[in-house]
Homo-oligomer: A and B are copies of this chain.
Amino acid sequence: MGGSEIRRNMPLFSIGIVMQLTDLSARQIRYYEEHELISPARTEGNKRLFSLNDIDKLLEIKDLIDQGVNMAGIKQIYNVKQQTAISAAEKKQAEKTRRELSDADLRKLLRKELLQAGRFNRSANHGDMSRFFH
């Protein structure tokens, strides 16, 4: 378990390769990054470089998307802090609102989507990149 973590987080793959490997569009991949589901590294020249872990995560996301889960659901699953671009002033109110929502509506939302998603047990904590390496 030592260097394995390092290896799996090593930034190696261009977005073109990741598109092929995941069957996602560049737009989708960038959109998921925008929503902080992944955080690929960058070259000096600002090109994205993805790790095995990034690709695994994208495969998981794709899985969820294919099963009808939306961004909000996926964010909940990965507990990514909600709220994308709100002014500091709005934030307080938004936070309050969110808290009010979270016990009622959010639970409902999650339950609905997860149940609808059907089978759902990725026992391993990573996607299917193992396909590509032994």
Contacts and interface: CB of A to CB of B under 8 A. Distances in A.
Interface in A1-48: 3-4, 7-8, 10, 12-14, 16-17, 43
B134 A7 contact: yes
A122 interface: no
Copies of this subunit = 2
Nearest to A49: B17
A8 B7 CA distance: 16
Given A12-B13, A12-B17, A17-B12, A7 B43 contact: no
Contacts of A49: 17
A133 interface: yes
A134 B4 contact: yes
A132 interface: yes
Given A12-B132, A16-B43, A133-B134, 17 more contacts: A3-B131, A4-B134, A7-B131, A7-B132, A7-B133, A7-B134, A8-B134, A10-B132, A12-B12, A12-B13, A12-B17, A13-B13, A13-B17, A14-B14, A52-B133, A133-B133, A134-B134
5 contacts: A7-B131, A10-B132, A12-B17, A52-B133, A133-B134
